[in-house]
Structure 1
Amino acid sequence: MRRSLPLPATRRTSRPRRALTATALLALAAGLLSPLPRAAAAESTAPSASTAAPVTDHCEGQCSDILPPGSNGNATLAEILAHRTLGTRPAHSSDQLGPYNDLVAGHTSLTDGKLADFFNDASFGVPEDQVESVTRPREDVTITRDKKTGVPHIKGTTREGTEFGAGYAAAQDRLWLMDLFRHIGRGELTPFAGGAEGNQGLEQQFWPQAPYTEEDLQSQIDRIAASGERGELAMADAQAYIDGINAYAQKAKKGRYFPGEYVLTGHIGPITNIGEIEPFKLTDMVALASVVGALFGGGGGGEVQAALSLLAAQEKYGTQKGTEVWESFRQRNDPEAVLTLHDGSSFPYAGKPDKARGTAMPDPGSVTPEQLVFDREGAAKKDAEAAVKVPSHLKPLRNMHDDGVLPADLFGKPHGMSNALMVSGKHTAAGNPVAVFGPQTGYFAPQLLMLQELQGPGISARGASFAGVGMYVQLGRGQDYAWSATSANQDIIDTYAVELCEPDGSAPAKESLHYVNHGSCEPMEKLERRNAWKPSIADSTAEGSYRMQVYRTDYGMVTHRATVDGKPVAYTSLRSTYRHEADSIIGFQMFNDPGYVKDAESFQRAAEHIGYTFNWFYADSRDTAYFNSGDNPVRAEGVDASLPVRAEPAYEWQDFSPEHNTAAYTPAAEHPQSVNQDYYVSWNNKQARDYTSAGFGFGSVHRGDLLDTRVKKLVEQGGVTRASLTRVMADAGLTDLRGEAVLPSLLKVLRSESITDPAAAEAVQQLESWLDAGAKRRETSAGSKTYAHAEAIRTMDAWWARLIEGQFKPGLGDGLYDALRANLAVDEPPSAGHGPTGGHAGSAFLAGWWSYADKDLRKVLGEPVEGALGDTYCGGGELSACRDVLLDTLTRAAATPATEVYPGDENCEPGDQWCADAVIHRPVGGLTHDAAHWQNRPTYQQVVEFPSHR
């Protein structure tokens, strides 16, 4: 088995400032910076249907998809200026946001006939009367774009031409974004996009996870090319794709219709056109793939923090009781957890060993994080005019990227936001399976994903691909089948404690730079990246520089230092997909090959070639199927995957070879999988019984329950349609998990005695009314930007953190409470700014203490609890005392003004509840987009039902 796949995320937009006159803009547009369309005029022909006939489309008009804000993610400098001053946007840059947003109000009356109001037609080809443009970048490929969305439909008469066209179209739509992400993948974002604090933070988050040299990147390419016929073909496809990117970049640069961000960041002169768009190369694609893998396809890690919380539990309760309590919060195999495979099947992996061996617990107080940043200079803000001379017509764009082009903590938060709903044909109205699924990759402007159709020899698919690695469709549909994925997050990352040493035999210190490797004292490999930047039109950060430094061992990168049993060690992080980020290209190649994927079984075989941790879902006219992919290392007997382990041969992965980071991996038969279960749901929940999820929080209440309860009810009723399955998806996506799943128990405790305080009684009544209405976060009417039950929602948002602290902190004590919070955040409401993609990220309720609160409250109420916590916490286990805690925290929460609950930001005024939740596409370039109603929903989404099969 082996690996590759795609990317994430969201945040701020600023309102356009109207500084330029229309006359000035017209003059600018007529000059050197004229905003030509994505395809240069000389390359385009008049709209026509002269492309080859499309392949047989077995979806017969019943496949739909959507990807806001729009397919066009490039804008010239003049278009950016016009947007920032007049509010205009280039064609097809925002035309999918409206239908996406409208589903909030429209889903309740949704029928199959109305799906087209909220989704695109995802059929193959473009009807003759819907052709907007045709581009022929070379003789063997045609790129046809449709009038409604501008999605590129790429048809090649040769395979090389098809891939060339895919790269060319990708550059037309996402050139600037691809350039950003290849520099992130190389740890070189600040020299490219400016020294803003956010940019520095982002490269510091990512580079230590994959600090590759150019030789490291090239070695991945060489190994794939030498791996067999498919590997050789994949690298040929990738090279043709790169050639297409570069061909468009060269023509755009020469014709002056390249993305305006190259001017704003100082790479190309606005008048002289001096400068360049650095050509892409194959190693850039490996760098891009490594970013994708870090964001969505990993799982595990965090063993050092887990060990610290275990130590805190043992200090609080003693070794035996403390371990039991810690395990109850770890919830490795909670019997109440929602499962994707609910048929009783078991797939044991990474569970708690009966007798752990080789565990390397740090001595209390000895852990220190490894230093990453050195030699920092400059980086202070300067006056705009002093930092760089800004032409008057460009001043509206000053400080466009002062916060950084992406969230600084993009790689530092849990990622798992996609969802999937599939129903077997036995339970649908037409007898064919129905699927509503897609990845939640966050909300960017432009989007990190892009839509495309690829038709050529051995390739036939339409769907979404991550910009820069789109030689194949990664999530989408073929001729008679569709597929999608959610992040699985099973544990493929381990932490090793390497014993430190000195080559002269002297006593080592925690700072020592040599380690014991199979009995020898060997030096750590020092890897460095020195980054420097200068001010630009879009970044007023002063000139600055700094150096990043990591140490690499055969057991991975050093992340912490500590002592274990008094001996100094370095803790390292080893990921099974490290040095193999691009290997999964083979699996995606198979997904796109109609000669390979012909049914559920062949799709599952293709998914075996994906090394990243994903849940894969498949539907055709006859079957549904599921397969969990990932390079799951076979651990030595007795190794506890949740805690650090000693770096000794006895505790290594089986067949481990550090040269290329290879090992034995669990066989495909041991991965959770199924065909034709009555229904499947996934919202990054636990896959199957005994399949241990990486990290905390997979207990009795999970976001996946919102889907499972609704789809189960729908299946019991029978006659499921595309519209009915979409309705329950949308309904779940507007529901507050805390309100639906935990509030009933909270109200039981509160109502166990009469409530005499008027303020508390009013708050309880408001919460009960909200619960009776479904605990939704939804407008009073479409476009009102005011929530129904707004006061109850405000109270819940203010209450949850107070509630959890009041419920658990007295019993756990400060130290253990804080240590467990470091393992699992207490809350993640829609208005949170701490999510994996920053504020306004849409995705919510992934990580929180909902299960802990639920189990503890039910225990206090005397209700049955499977997998109960190791102790009872609310009020010390006494119902009346627990009620006092809830009343006190609720009363304080209800009295908290909206301006404190929703403090405001650059997008929202303090106290604006709707805006605090709103989805806002974070600009990574010059375009911004309007805020949309909150939805807990995939970014790219398909609705499919195939009536026929090949």
Structure 2
Amino acid sequence: MRRRTTRTTQHRSLRRTLQRTAATAVFVLTAGLLSPVGEASAAEPAPAPDYCAGRCADILPPGANGSATLAEILGHRLFGTQPAHADDQLGPYDALAAGYPSLTDDTLTQFFNDSSFGVPDGQVGSVTRPRDDVTITRDKKNGVPHVKGSTRYGTEFGAGYAAGQDRLWLIDLFRHIGRGELTSFAGGALANQGLEQEFWPQAPYTEQDLEKQVEYIRTTQGARGKQAMDDAQAYIDGLNAYREKSKNGRYFPGEYVLTGKIDAITNVGEIQPFKVTDMIALASVVGGLFGGGGGGEVGQALSLLSAQQKYGVERGTEVWESFRGRDDPEAVTTIHDGTSFPYGAKPENPRGEALPDKGTVESEPLVYDREGSAKPAEAGRKAPVKAPAKLKPLQGMYDKGVLPADTFRNSDSKKGMSNALLVSGKHTASGHPVAVFGPQTGYFAPQLLMMQELQGPGISARGVSFAGVGMYIQLGRGQDYAWSATSAGQDITDTYAVELCEPDGATPTRQSTNYLYRGACTPMEKLEKKNAWKPTLADSTAAGSYRMQVFRTKYGIVTHRATVGGKPVAYTSLRSTYRHEADSIIGFQMLNDPSYVKDAATFEKAAQHISYAFNWFYADSRDIAYYNSGANPVRAAGVDASFPVKAEKAYEWRDFDPTDNTAAYAPPSQHPNSVDQDYYVSWNNKQAKGFGAANFSLGAVHRADLLDGRVKRLVAEGGVTRASLTQGMEEAALTDLRGEQVLPEILKVIRSKPVDDPALNKAVQQLEAWRKGGAQRNQTSAGSHTYAHPDAVRIMDAWWPLLVKAEFEPGLGGDLYGALTGELTIDESPSAGHGPTGAHAGSAFQYGWWGYVDKDLRTVLGQPVKGRLGAAYCGGGKLDACRDVLLATLVQAAAKPAAEVYPGDDACKAGDQWCSDTIIHRALGGITHRGIQWQNRPTYQQVVEFPAHRP
């Protein structure tokens, strides 16, 4: 193990402690953990046909290896060492921010990995044969597993075995999140409690529920469904084989010791076996994070009522709808050829709405019976537990939770972050399509996604899969095609108002636990989850416990209670993918099957089998294509999906059957789809004209504008290459959306008269220079950690929230402004820790009031505006008064010192602007990584151009 020079007396002391007390207790016992496992002398199998000819590349930071033994974790904490292949993709990913201006096709591999099939001669790092019918070959450079099976079972077994090698702890962690059992597994830190409370109520399945979903796929989805469940079992068998072998051989992940699952000295303890139902629980987390859409109808109803209270019903509805922007004519769309795909539009004569009576809405309680450290801090905290001296470096490692509190703050439809850029061969230098695309799944250590190649009967693909559900490649490339996705977020979740009742005919209250289902008073199903925890070596949180409880109805999970027209109701959330968390496995199976996907048409047919809400993109040597997937329920005529609806048969989804939560769904032709448009861009933006947005964010300014403008220019110039398209992506990735898209209008208002105050004029000039320079948040040079326009960036970060509040609150009033900002946050800059994705998350500018500000200022300037807001707000619509508002807030912003704008946190000192923006991989285990330059780009990314196609 390599040792780095220690910098503090504390580190020297810890090193001496480790050498004295841990040498025999830990390192001797784990010496075998660092040795290659199951090596064999088997030759590298011949690669599958590969028609990319070296023109396919990809990257996934921080590295392929997401597993570390206890010895490796200790070494990392003491000396800063990293396990092999734990962070070797972090540097190239980071370097693109400085290197993209001079990028060429020949230098792409400095920033991306060659993603050709197989492992070249001389590049074999290790070969493992967990069974006679499968070989796992890892390359020297990145350690990516290339799984080659001679049988279908062997291939999937190998995929599970490789997943165990690279992500065993992570998979275990996420199955417990999906089951609502994170605290009992990983400790009672408040962040862990928060994650249980966030995810379990969305999918509070019993074991019987999970088994039923497995059986549903096996018995109702034909031969492919049976094959999928056979593949899942083989994958689980491989994962369990590695689990057992690593436990017996003492090279299991060190987190099992740190959380008290296994004793480091005696090896007593167990890693619980994995089951296929664990994959369903895990899929519910992944799908809920990235593939959902809609919901939130109660909040939207409350904001509408606030608007109606201020303006009256008719005028208030008009104002609210202008902010809702269901089909904003100025929104950037992925399909831009004028084709319309009507779905989710506001009906002319809404029926069945169940808006709550004023002041009656209450959120449904979730947590009960708090004990010990689960009680409020002032009442329940106890003295921390002290770790043995040999493990002192790890004391309190998980005190804030295995996952930080803001890890998944992008949930509840605040998700996505992926992007895609595809150009038709008609506009490229080679005459073949070019694509740069990938999912943004956040930055974690280890990464949620896992790189792999799978080659076996009926399977031929390379790319990434979510750890634990990696039977198939979920995003990647086949022999002569590649595909990727962005989160779509269309409305597949509705809220029903179930009328409450009492079985004895007594008068119901809002707390009643029976409801009317098709005329019968029906008891709600109560689901409970009891969690208890004890202190561990890495989490000094004192012992505690609590109970989670939800009520389930035929119309979904109870989320709120209220009265409607004086009658008590429970509001429930019903998602079309509920009870169908893994049905999408059929679509992924097809995408991996070279005998099925042969062209754009068959790609679309495969994507049609994916029930989660995603935008899917495809490229081969001839075509580019796009398809929006999702189980889009067909609603009853007149139902407005933006608001709660009465839980009556007349307003249910068409053909709704609560037994398995099935209904009629919109046919494929009604999903946004296209083949060979001149180009496609997607950054979680609006899909097409007429396709109703499920949230407030798809307006006149969207971060997809950053891509659309650049790709449109490239297409107009012609001769697009892999390098030039990557440059367009990366330039957008470093650009401040507010600075490029909204600042020009702000400056026009300000410059409508001379700015007499010298200090104020200087601030305006700094903003103008920044805008002229591209409005980027980029370093002066690689490694400088200083932005080229630091003062302008600081001013904008301080100014935007002040500007929005001063522009809109006086006209809207405090109550309505608060309601609308509750539906759409005003800001999501890279350093905005309060934003939906939290601090150091990379993704930025997905949610904000940029479109509102842009429309309002153009209205004040007298410029054309399509889809105007309900009124002119800045300065009451008067130019001079608006200018005064902007200048007054600019004075405040310019005066704010960097230490106030960037207050600092555990990773950064106050005032460190560059550090405040940096991307930091959230640690899901014992290994951490350095922060990198902010880039608004996918986590996993492909750059592809196929020069040939199968005959």
Q: Provide the TM-score with structure 1 as the length reference.
A: 0.97
Deviation of 1:20 (Å): 1.8
| Counterpart residue number, 1:34 | 31
Amino acid at match of 1:602: T
Q: Distance in 2 between matches of 1:436 and 1:160?
A: 33
Q: Distance in 1 between matches of 2:9 and 2:281?
A: 34
Cα distance per residue 1:287-343 (max 9 Å; x no partner):
010001100000000100000000010111111110000000000000000000000
Q: Distance in 2 between matches of 1:884 and 1:559?
A: 44
Cα distance per residue 1:49-97 (max 9 Å; x no partner):
x132111100000000000000000000000000000000100000000
Instruction: Please give the secondary structure, in 2, of the residue aligned with 1:195.
Output: coil
Amino acid at match of 1:128: D
Q: How does 1:91-130 map to 2 (within 5 A)?
A: 91-130=84-123
1:756 equivalent to 2:756? Answer yes
Instruction: Please give the secondary structure, in 1, of the residue aligned with 2:942.
Output: strand
Deviation of 1:404 (Å): 1.2
Q: Distance in 1 between matches of 2:344 and 2:812?
A: 27
1:435 equivalent to 2:435? Answer yes
| Counterpart residue number, 2:313 | 319
Q: Distance in 1 between matches of 2:490 and 2:608?
A: 15
Aligned counterpart in structure 1 of residue 202 of structure 2, from 198, 206, 209: 209
Whether the 8 Å contact between 2:373 and 2:382 is mirrored in structure 1 is no
Q: Distance in 2 between matches of 1:308 and 1:16?
A: 54
Whether the 8 Å contact between 1:15 and 1:84 is mirrored in structure 2 is no
| Counterpart residue number, 1:482 | 482
Amino acid at match of 2:319: V
Whether the 8 Å contact between 2:385 and 2:542 is mirrored in structure 1 is no
Q: Distance in 2 between matches of 1:601 and 1:500?
A: 48
Deviation of 1:45 (Å): 2.7
Q: Distance in 2 between matches of 1:734 and 1:235?
A: 43
| Counterpart residue number, 2:847 | 847
1:248 equivalent to 2:280? Answer no
Q: How does 1:507-906 map to 2 (within 5 A)?
A: 507-906=507-906
| Counterpart residue number, 1:405 | 402
1:177 equivalent to 2:170? Answer yes
Instruction: Please give the secondary structure, in 1, of the residue aligned with 2:369.
Output: strand
Tell me whether 87-96 or 404-413 shows the greater mean CA deviation.
404-413
Cα distance per residue 1:205-231 (max 9 Å; x no partner):
001000000000000001111121000
| Counterpart residue number, 1:3 | none
Whether the 8 Å contact between 1:210 and 1:578 is mirrored in structure 2 is yes
| Counterpart residue number, 2:257 | 263
| Counterpart residue number, 1:337 | 331
Specify every segment of 5 or more residues in structure 2 that has no aligned partner in the other structure, as ranges. Answer: 1-7
Amino acid at match of 1:263: V
1:229 equivalent to 2:223? Answer yes
Deviation of 1:834 (Å): 3.2
| Counterpart residue number, 1:7 | none
Aligned counterpart in structure 2 of residue 20 of structure 1, from 5, 15, 21: 15
Deviation of 1:591 (Å): 0.4
| Counterpart residue number, 1:374 | 368
Cα distance per residue 1:703-730 (max 9 Å; x no partner):
1000000000000000000000000000
Aligned counterpart in structure 2 of residue 73 of structure 1, from 56, 66, 70: 66
Q: Distance in 1 between matches of 2:363 and 2:536?
A: 34
Cα distance per residue 1:444-468 (max 9 Å; x no partner):
0000001000000000000000000
Deviation of 1:475 (Å): 0.1
Deviation of 1:770 (Å): 0.2
Say if 1:882 and 1:603 are closer, same or farther in 2 by CA, change over 3 A: same
Tell me whether 95-104 or 370-379 shows the greater mean CA deviation.
370-379
Instruction: Please give the secondary structure, in 2, of the residue aligned with 1:270.
Output: coil
Aligned counterpart in structure 1 of residue 355 of structure 2, from 361, 378, 392: 361
Q: Distance in 1 between matches of 2:690 and 2:601?
A: 24
Q: Distance in 1 between matches of 2:357 and 2:365?
A: 20
Whether the 8 Å contact between 2:391 and 2:537 is mirrored in structure 1 is yes
Q: Distance in 1 between matches of 2:698 and 2:413?
A: 16
Tell me whether 487-496 or 504-513 shows the greater mean CA deviation.
504-513
Cα distance per residue 1:12-31 (max 9 Å; x no partner):
xx999562248457656641
Q: Distance in 2 between matches of 1:655 and 1:193?
A: 43
Deviation of 1:750 (Å): 0.5
Cα distance per residue 1:880-921 (max 9 Å; x no partner):
000000000011001011111111110000011000000000
Instruction: Please give the secondary structure, in 2, of the residue aligned with 1:134.
Output: strand
Amino acid at match of 1:281: K
| Counterpart residue number, 1:346 | 340
Amino acid at match of 2:729: M
Cα distance per residue 1:176-204 (max 9 Å; x no partner):
00000000000000000100000000110
Deviation of 1:505 (Å): 1.0
Amino acid at match of 2:481: Y
Whether the 8 Å contact between 1:413 and 1:836 is mirrored in structure 2 is no
Instruction: Please give the secondary structure, in 1, of the residue aligned with 2:33.
Output: coil
1:280 equivalent to 2:274? Answer yes
Deviation of 1:390 (Å): 1.7
Q: Distance in 2 between matches of 1:774 and 1:146?
A: 40
Say if 1:39 and 1:639 are closer, same or farther in 2 by CA, change over 3 A: farther
| Counterpart residue number, 1:144 | 137
| Counterpart residue number, 1:11 | none
Q: Distance in 2 between matches of 1:797 and 1:837?
A: 17
Instruction: Please give the secondary structure, in 2, of the residue aligned with 1:45.
Output: coil
Instruction: Please give the secondary structure, in 2, of the residue aligned with 1:311.
Output: helix
Deviation of 1:413 (Å): 6.2
Whether the 8 Å contact between 1:307 and 1:644 is mirrored in structure 2 is yes
Instruction: Please give the secondary structure, in 2, of the residue aligned with 1:826.
Output: coil
Cα distance per residue 1:520-577 (max 9 Å; x no partner):
1111110000100000011011100000000000000000011111111100000000
Deviation of 1:391 (Å): 1.8
Q: Distance in 2 between matches of 1:600 and 1:35?
A: 49
Q: Distance in 2 between matches of 1:29 and 1:364?
A: 63
Whether the 8 Å contact between 2:372 and 2:381 is mirrored in structure 1 is no
Whether the 8 Å contact between 2:294 and 2:413 is mirrored in structure 1 is no
Q: Distance in 2 between matches of 1:35 and 1:539?
A: 27
Aligned counterpart in structure 2 of residue 302 of structure 1, from 293, 296, 306: 296
Amino acid at match of 1:126: V
Amino acid at match of 1:403: K
Instruction: Please give the secondary structure, in 2, of the residue aligned with 1:212.
Output: coil
Amino acid at match of 1:236: D
Amino acid at match of 2:250: R
Whether the 8 Å contact between 1:39 and 1:135 is mirrored in structure 2 is no
Deviation of 1:854 (Å): 0.3
Whether the 8 Å contact between 1:841 and 1:919 is mirrored in structure 2 is yes
Q: Distance in 2 between matches of 1:466 and 1:378?
A: 35
Larger relative contact order, structure 1 or 2 (CA cutoff 8 Å, min sep 6): 1
Q: Distance in 1 between matches of 2:757 and 2:57?
A: 53
Say if 1:117 and 1:420 are closer, same or farther in 2 by CA, change over 3 A: same
> What RMSD over aligned residues (CA atoms) do the two structures have, in Å?
1.6
Q: Distance in 1 between matches of 2:26 and 2:402?
A: 26
Q: Distance in 1 between matches of 2:398 and 2:19?
A: 27
Identity of aligned residues (%): 69
Q: Distance in 1 between matches of 2:10 and 2:478?
A: 41
Amino acid at match of 1:484: S
